[in-house]
Structure 1
Amino acid sequence: MKSKHFKYSIWAKTIAWIVLVTAACLSLMAMLSIVFLQSNEFYAEAYKTAEKNVMENYAPMYQDARGMLQNVLYEDERPSSADRNIAFQVMDGEGKEVLNNHTFENTLLKDTYEIAMLKDTSGPEPLYETYTVNVYINGSFPNNDIYAQWHRISMSLYGMREMIYYYAAAFIIAAVCALIYLINAAGHRSEDDEIYPGPLASIPGDVCILGYAACCMGIFYFMIRLLPGINKSSVFTGFSMLMAFFILEGCMVTSCIINIAVRVKQGGFWRHTLIGKICRGICHICEQMNTVWKAAGILGAWIIADFFLNLMSFHGDTLLYLIKTLIYFFIGLWIAEMMKKLFRASEELSHGDLNYQVDTSRMKGDFAKAGENINHIADGMNQAVEERMKSERMKTELITNVSHDIKTPLTSIINYSDLLAKEADDPEKIKEYTEVLIRQSTRLKKLIEDLIEASKASTGNLEVELVPCQINVLLNQAAGEYEAKMKEQGLTLIIDQPEETIAVLADGRRLWRIFDNLLNNICKYSQHGTRVYLSLIKKDGRAEISFKNTSREQLNITAEELKERFVRGDSSRNTEGNGLGLSIAQSLTELQHGTMDLQVDGDLFKVTLCFPLTDQSV
């Protein structure tokens, strides 16, 4: 944790910046030195010859010769060679010696220049005279001038000419490693792993890059304007200024790279650029256009581009014509391939292969949309087929369940009626059979009534009078009705509701029927010795009532299937009931603008009712 804390700390980043700047400057110096040594033939020639090349290429001998000649001719000054490492011999156009201050015993280099100087301006045209100037460089370099500076630079670089390559490689590796670390640490802080935007995060990425580029160009322009004047006086001063400019350029480039790295890590770099926003705007406009206008725009752009390309091709640019033709050829192949995929998909779909999918990964524009639409058609047809099969299956199960629930009491009635006719002389048997007949008749009657009520509720043909109802009072009354029955089943009822009055807009009779159905199911299907939880709360302008119990039977069925008609929690259908209770409760809830949600988690069964509150809640 401590290493991670230091890794992204400001100290580590500062050290990396220093290493990067130092290594980059040293590697730049090493590479410039290699170029210097190669261009002046330090590896191919002897040292003296290479040093002569340095003086001829870099030392300002011609500028000094011309400046000296101007002073001699116009200012009547006689330069001395005692304080400089350069001497001159000047002869006019007739070969007469004008100046000679050459007294060097050890001459490194002699160079000759023909310099034209203005002699007379009194005539119609100015008169020039050409002077021959011999320039001598003192090979001992006793004075500290620019020639001595180039001499010391040559000696130093000549001494490290073999090792300079290793130095350059080492400095480049160090700079690259520091840059990689800074890119990796960009946007991170020591306290967490979040990516924090930089101070320029509000500026679009491409605008920010253009700003960095403008700063770099400004620094470069300032450098090329300032350096020539500095370089005349001192090589080391000019070189120091050059390094300073390169450090500024390097800092700007590194800052730009780090800024880009932070934006890439945050994601959506292209999305937050000005060009990206413009392109998205154009694409949005194109998306709103119909296919005809899109095609017209594309063809118009194509015609204009083709016109200019043809103009350029008329000037003999055969390669450009060939490239244009190849582009058109491959675009045509691409469009043909996309159309082939669409035709193949429509053919497979027409043959009934609903699982066939169009590969839209390489499609663009309206072709991709058409492919996605075909895929969605296949998905929709698959879903419709599955829904139809599910509906047929549920219809079959419904008929089976209805037949079973009607047949059971009806069979009992027929059988016991037959027994009753045969036992005319036994009063006890008659009484027993009569009770069974009454019980089964009542069960059959309730089944028919529930079925009729479920049908009316699901079709909306049931009368509902929505008035303010105190739902907590109604819930307490319903719980009281079933309290004794729950005790007989070994169930413990726990009610959690606020003391305040909660009023909802509902039909009291229908609301009572909902509570009655749910509590009746709890009594019939709950595990003996478990708790039953009833809760009432207010939430987001609605009253939320929940019923929770533990099922006696294993619930191998989904909540949606439980709400279907004649579906019961016990698949054996050994308990009393007809499987209409939850279906009726849901239909009645929806008629009162409420919602009913079922949740099954293992043996835990939960029903949640929600009804809108009224202003009469206290």
Structure 2
Amino acid sequence: AAMQGGPVASRELPLGREHGRTFMARAAPVAGTAEGGTVLVLHDISELKRADQIRRDFVANVSHELRTPLTAIRGYVEALLDEPDDPAEARRFLEIIARHSTRMERLVKDLLRLARLDARQEPLDMARCDVAQAFTSVVADFEPSIEDKRQQVQTSVAPDAASVMADPAKLHDVIRNLVENALNYSPEGAEVRLASSRGDGCVRLTVSDSGPGIPEDDLTRVFERFYRVDKSRSRPGGTGLGLAIVKHLVELHGGQARAENLPGGGARFTISLPDVVADMGEPTA
């Protein structure tokens, strides 16, 4: 139609199957020439399409994650309204309601925190943090569940990476979310390893698990909100926002977070935090 001087609507064209790129194609006739012709403009909208899909998935996942506990709570409330004669049964119903309420509370808190992080509304209170102490504090939080699953947590702190400049509370949250994820995906009796090292002006903290690992195609997406590697499986714990919060908190420090598979099985999450804070005049350890 453009060759004949007629109007042509914009169209989306999926090109490049390997990388899944999408282009918006616009064509317009060339005026003022005897031969005629058409100008074709391709605009890469792949990132816009990906962002829109992430937004759609996010809304759908929030709805699902809230609807699931709400449905359970409603069911058990209706059962209690029927006035069960067994006090033990009534107590069991109340415990289930309490558990689902706690899950919803955690989800809402994580959503609100992500909103604050997106808006850059969480200031940093930087201080020199002891890495070994941070590891020990987080492991202590999970001691009951570690004992229940007979898991082991091993820590290794390099002498030149014994401390790092960070916000202590936010560093604790980062390590806690990574350790919780590792414990959830590791089987009973498995080992989770925490380690620190130094390189390229950064302190690297790693959390390695003994789980099933992560498919290569999913490695770049595990830090997305609510993303699940196996869509057919229910989430083993948490709200599905822990790794997204990790990424935001690390980037708030000017660092990076990445995931990789280990040769012998399992996954390793690494956060790299710059250990130079010029305006505070703090020397690196």
TM-score for the superposition, normalised by structure 1:
0.37
Q: 1:406-421 to 2 correspondence within 5 Å?
A: 406-421=66-81
Among 172, 176, 180, the residue aligned to 1:512: 172
Residue of 594, 599, 606 corresponding to 2:255: 594
Match of 1:430 in 2: 90
Matched, 1:578 2:239: yes
Correspondence for 2:269: 607
User: What is the letter of the counterpart of residue 609 of structure 1?
Assistant: I
Match of 1:443 in 2: 103
**SS of equivalent to 1:464:** coil
Larger relative contact order, structure 1 or 2 (CA cutoff 8 Å, min sep 6) = 2
Kindly provide the amino acid, as one letter, of the partner of residue 578 in structure 1: T
SS, match of residue 209 in structure 2: strand
Question: Which of 125, 135, 148 is matched with 1:488 structurally?
Answer: 148
Whichever residue aligns with residue 269 of structure 2, its letter is V
Match of 2:58 in 1: 398
Unaligned 5+ runs, structure 2: 16-38, 277-281
Local SS of the residue matching 1:473: helix
Distance in structure 2 (CA, Å) of the matches to 1:418 and 1:350? 55
SS at match of 1:562: coil
The offset of 1:427, in angstroms, is: 1.5
Structure 2 equivalent of residue 463 of structure 1: 123
Displacement of 1:414 after TM fit? 0.7
| Other structure's SS at 1:475 match | helix
**d(CA) in 2 for partners of 1:555, 1:434:** 39
Structure-2 separation of matches of 1:510 and 1:556: 29
**C-alpha deviation, 1:408, in angstroms:** 0.9
Post-superposition offset of 1:554: 6.4
Q: Which has the higher strand share?
A: 2
Of the two, which has the highest radius of gyration?
1
Judge conservation of contact 1:413–1:440 (CA < 8 Å) in 2.
yes
1:550 is paired with a residue whose SS is coil
Q: Does 1:559 align with 2:223?
A: no
SS of residue matched to 2:121: coil
Q: Is the 8 A contact 1:503 1:616 kept in 2?
A: no
- CA offsets, 1:330-382, max 9 Å, x none? xxxxxxxxxxxxxx9xx9x9975966xxxxxxxxxxxxxxxxxx99x63xx2x
Cα distance, 1:574 vs. partner? Answer: 4.5
Per the alignment, in what secondary structure is the counterpart of residue 504 of structure 1? strand
**Given the two structures, how large is their TM-score scaled by the length of structure 2?**
0.76
Corresponding residue for residue 193 of structure 1? none
SS of the aligned residue for 1:560 comes to: coil
Q: Is the 8 A contact 1:586 1:595 kept in 2?
A: yes
Cα separation, partners in 2 of 1:560 and 1:419, compared to 1, 3 Å: same
CA contact (8 A) 2:213 2:261 kept: no
How well do the aligned residues superpose, as a CA RMSD in angstroms?
3.0
Gaps of at least 5 residues in structure 1 are 1-343, 356-373
Structure with the larger helix share: 1
Contact 1:541 1:612 in 2 (8 A): yes
Please give the per-residue CA displacement for 1:57-99, whole angstroms capped at 9, x wherever unaligned: xxxxxxxxxxxxxxxxxxxxxxxxxxxxxxxxxxxxxxxxxxx
Counterpart amino acid of 1:596? A
CA distance in 2, matches of 1:419, 1:488: 31
Conserved 8 A contact 2:212-2:266: no
AA paired with 1:527?
A: P
CA shift, 1:552, in A, is: 4.0
